[in-house]
Structures are given as structure tokens and as C-alpha cells.
Amino acid sequence: MNPDGKSQELNASQQQAADYTGGHLLIVAGPGTGKTHTLTYRIARISRQLKTGQRALAITFTHKAAEELRERLTKLFPDIRDKVFVGTFHSFCLSYLREHIADTDLPQKWNIATAYDLERLAGELWPDVPKRQVKKKLQVIMERKTRGSDEEDPSDAAAYNAFLKANALVDYDDLLLEARKLLSRAEKTEFTHVFVDEYQDINALQHALLKEFVRLGATLTAIGDPHQAIYSFRGADVSFFERFAEDFKGAAVLSLSDNYRSVPNLLKASGQVVPRETPLVSALTAGIYREGHLTVHDAPTDKAEAEYVVHQIEKMVGGTSMFSQDSGRVSSTPLAQRSFEDIAVLYRLNAQKSVLEEALARHGIPYQTSDDRPFAELTPIPELTVLLKDFRGSGTLNDAMTKLLQAATGERIFKDSRPVWRKNVARFLRMAKRFDMIEEFLDHLALQQPEDAIERRAENVNLLTLHAAKGLEFPVVFIVGCEQNLLPLSIENMVSDPQEERRLFYVGMTRAKEALFLTHARRRRLFGQGMSNPPSPYLDDIEHQLKEYDQTQPVRRRKDKSKSSQLELFKVS
């Protein structure tokens, strides 16, 4: 920031949002409008003016987003480091409860119940109930908690809560419930300013927590985009976004609508897909002026679709091997070259992933996938965590890890040679290096969400669900399975909200900066069953002129090549 407090890095509406001082503020920020950027400057401006004893609280949707925000803040404004707590709802509540443990109703020592713990406990609590129903029971209990419901506990929930208490465990929602309880008894808070990212995806319990802060005098800044609300199945409710001005007295609403991410034709296309009836949101205008590509591809099968994706990737990376280079599989003229990390392949369901993985592996293209389960639940992390818990109280985390390794050497956990297994153990060990205290590490593990699972060591093509792609951007994006019954999702046992499906597709499209491929297959196998779906209706919403139709089929090398070029294959060195 300049001495006069103005920053050249912000455009006029971003600057206005960063500078606003009139009270509660809702910032409507579409994809690529500089949301995090603006938020960073606003947090910085406000935090610098805080008095001693006052702090700011910035809440993000994932740990990764928290890390990124923290990084940006410290890089730009190292002086405000200690004045801002950056974290997710859960990590904030956890630290808040740990800090004020004496004032809570919790025992002195407690742990967060991981999904693994819950499964184990539920098995003890309802030994005769089939696993599936136990899962259902747990789901019902969780849903009640996220609604922030105050009604009398039904018997299942009461028994469950008593069980947790007896085992000194707190589940994820309890973190928020307990923190809210604590806040509701408080008379003041050091957090005079609270910032919430991705406000379109908050749930009732989180909303209630924010209300407590406001009751204690905090000023609230919420930022987000109702067009990108995609988590209602987890209890999120986009209506909180729409009701912001009613919920918080005197609130102002500002919008950011200059898009700096996507090339104009992609922006125009996503604008034709987005739901039109949302108030608050104005259309986005393009901030960059290059042209990009929107390609639609119709594949005969899901396998052919995956093969098409791989072929496009090979073309864009300019050939991954001498083989593809010399054999003419890719052009030898230097194209606009991409590297693996520039590319994301998005899909609606995790079940669509395996056919893509097979094709990528066959061509030796490195990729990474998002997991549908949090890291703490992946094999053999629960076992390792249980072992580690036994070493609590034996000094630092480093000591405990040494002991753990000694104790477990020769055990199955470290011997299993499955790559996934080894990968997870290696990551567990690496993660542990970032912490000093066992409790800190256990807390961190317990709070990991599936969205945090992507870890960057080497460059990879990203395979992600549309949900996991939220908040990310890539020069090249493929959305596979653009078909009815997948987008919008309508498969047996999987009910979905048509409006939310449309928003999900919009989220996917708006991840692309320069090139977007929308592919669909006439036949595919999913959950062991064949299905044949017409193209997604969303494709029809995009005007014809914006779409390039690529009907090339991947070349079947052996059949098509003449004898002389077969000989060439042997000359490759």
C-alpha cells in the first residue's frame, strides 16, 4: 500500500471494497474477480488500525485456502501477522476451545473424534445394528447438529453424545456447538472484525456462531458468490447469503465484476450457463483480451473419452516422450506449451475417475487425484494415529514419532508395499515434521478435509471432482461426462438439486483460464452398469458460435499406420 493508503494493485471496485468502513459488508465476488486479493487488502487495512488487545478473525473454507491467505498476508504485510487469526471454522473453534478450556463444559483433556473413531464407537454403541444403518443414524445426528437445532435430543443422539463425553471425544460439529456456547456466555471478544470467505456455503450452525460475534460487537465482512454455492448436501444454505442485509443491520453490499481469469469467449459461455434469477449478482465483464478455446467433443464411450483427453494432453504438453514426438503422434512444431500442472480434468462423480486414471497411466502421464475421504481416514493413517496417541505425554512430537517408528518397525504398517499405502505413510511422516507438539499434530490430522488432500511435490495433471475444484484455476480444464444423468446428476439413490447442479457446472467452467474442453460419451459404465446418456442440457445453453466441435477420434496406431511407419517405430532412440 502507498503512504496514502491507496494500492495500485486494486481496481476501483476492489479498492472500494477494501476501504469500506461503514459496518457489516457483503462482497459479491464472481469467479476470477480477485476475491482473495481484495480480501487480503481489506483484512490488512483493518488489522493495521486495530488497537492493543483487538484482533481480526479470517475464516476460510479449507485449510489450503487458509494457508494461501496467510501466505499472502504475511508476504504483503508482515507487520500484521499476530493480529489476524486465519483458519477454518473448525480450526478456529478448536483453538478457541483449547485456549478457554476452563470456561467450557469439556473435560481438561479431549480429542477430536475422527470418522474412524466414530465408526468404532458407533460399533460399540449399537453392536447389533447393520453398518449401513449406523451410518444413517450418524448422518441424522450430524444433520441435526449442523442445523444448530436446540430441540430436545432424540434418544439416538443423546446416547451418542453421552458416549462421546464418556470417551473424552468431541466431534466436528461439537467444536462449533461448544464454541458457540462459550461465545454466548461471553460479554466481549477480542475479535472486533470477522471475515468469512465462501459465504455462500455456510450452514446454520456457522451462521449462528457469526451472530454471536456480531452480538459481541464484531464487524462482519462476508465474501462469496451465490452462483458457486455447491455444498447444500452438507447442510450449507445459500439463503444466508441472500439474507445478509436482513441478518446484519446496516449491512452494505458491494460487487466485484471484472473477471481477470478467463478469456472473453469462455467468460461469455459460462455466463450463458449461470442461473439467471439470482438477485445481487451482476454479469461479469472480461478483464483480459486474448481469445481462448471452448471445445466440445462427442465420444462413443467413456474409454474413448478418456483416450481423447489423454491425447489432447499429450498434444498440449508437446509430447511426453520421444516416442510421441518422433512418431508424429504430436506435432513437432512448438505449440503453446503446457506443463502437467496447467491441466485439470474434472468430473461429477469419483466413480468416473478410474477410466481416466487407466488412460493416463497407460500413457505414462503423471496425475494426482483428490480423495473423497479426508487424509486421516486413508489407510493406514487411522492405525498410525492410534499408535501415536499411545505416546502422548512422552515429550515432543519428534520424540513420539521416533518411538512410534521404533515400535512399529517390522509391523505391517511400514511393510506393506502398496504404493498408496507407502505414499500415505510418507505423507504422514512429512506432515509430522511441521509440528512440535503431539496434540497439535493430532488436531491438524483430525481437521483435514478431503479438499486438503492434494499435495504438491511434483507437477501432475489434476484429476478432481467438480466440488474439489472449487477455488482453483487452471489454464486448461476438461469437464468429462457432460451428459444428462451426470450433469445434472440423476442416478438411482443420488438425488440432487437441479439449481445446485447448474451452479456446480458453472464452477467447473469458470476454473478454466484459456482452454475448456466439454466432453461427453454416448455409452459409459458406471457402478458396474452400462448407461447411455444424451449430452447435458447445459451444453445447449451455450450459444453455437462459442463452441468448436472436435470430432477427431484418437488414432488407432497399429491398424492405421502403413508398414513403413511401423518400421520407424524401431528406430526411436
Minimum distance between the CB of residue 76 and another protein, rounded to whole angstroms?
A: 22
- Site for another protein contains 426 (CB under 8 A): yes
Shorter beta-carbon distance to another protein: residue 163 or 323? 323
- Site for another protein contains 364 (CB under 8 A): yes
Shorter beta-carbon distance to another protein: residue 9 or 341? 341
- Site for another protein contains 571 (CB under 8 A): yes
Q: Write the CB contacts of 489 (distance below 8 Å, at least 6 apart in sequence).
A: 348, 349, 496, 501
Contact assessment for residue 281 and residue 225, using Cβ atoms and an 8 Å cutoff: yes
Minimum distance between the CB of residue 416 and another protein, rounded to whole angstroms?
A: 12
- Site for another protein contains 367 (CB under 8 A): yes
Give the other-Cβ count within 10 Å of 490's Cβ. 14
- All 3 cell numbers of residue 516? 475448456
Whole-Å CA distances, 238 to 180, 209, 346, 494: 21, 16, 23, 21
Closest residue by Cα to residue 504 from 347, 362, 364: 347
Q: Write the CB contacts of 475 (distance below 8 Å, at least 6 apart in sequence).
A: 338, 342, 343, 512, 513, 514, 515
User: Judged by CB under 8 A, how many residues of this single chain contact another protein?
Assistant: 42
Shorter beta-carbon distance to another protein: residue 162 or 405? 405
Closest residue by Cα to residue 62 from 425, 484, 501, 467: 467
Contact assessment for residue 205 and residue 172, using Cβ atoms and an 8 Å cutoff: no
- Site for another protein contains 126 (CB under 8 A): no
Q: Figure out which of the listed residues 166, 322, 405, 407 binds another protein, where binding follows CB under 8 A.
A: 322
Q: Figure out which of the listed residues 30, 87, 271, 318 binds another protein, where binding follows CB under 8 A.
A: 318
- Site for another protein contains 133 (CB under 8 A): no
- Site for another protein contains 315 (CB under 8 A): no
Shorter beta-carbon distance to another protein: residue 166 or 567? 567
Closest residue by Cα to residue 316 from 456, 477, 502: 477
What SS3 class is residue 464? strand
Strands of 491-569, DSSP E: 512-526, 529-531, 548-549
Contact assessment for residue 518 and residue 482, using Cβ atoms and an 8 Å cutoff: yes
Q: Which of residues 457-486 bind another protein (CB under 8 A)?
A: 457-460
Q: Figure out which of the listed residues 95, 321, 402, 496 binds another protein, where binding follows CB under 8 A.
A: 321
Q: Figure out which of the listed residues 67, 119, 326, 473 binds another protein, where binding follows CB under 8 A.
A: 326
Q: Which of residues 164-193 bind another protein (CB under 8 A)?
A: none
Give the other-Cβ count within 10 Å of 152's Cβ. 8
- Site for another protein contains 342 (CB under 8 A): yes
From 78-86, 284-292, 340-348, 442-450, give the range in contact with another protein by CB under 8 A: 340-348
- Site for another protein contains 422 (CB under 8 A): yes
Shorter beta-carbon distance to another protein: residue 271 or 319? 319
Shorter beta-carbon distance to another protein: residue 188 or 430? 430
Closest residue by Cα to residue 104 from 173, 178, 168, 208: 178
Shorter beta-carbon distance to another protein: residue 389 or 423? 423
User: Site residues (CB under 8 A) for another protein?
Assistant: 317-323, 325-328, 332-334, 337-342, 360-367, 419, 422-423, 426-427, 457-460, 569-573
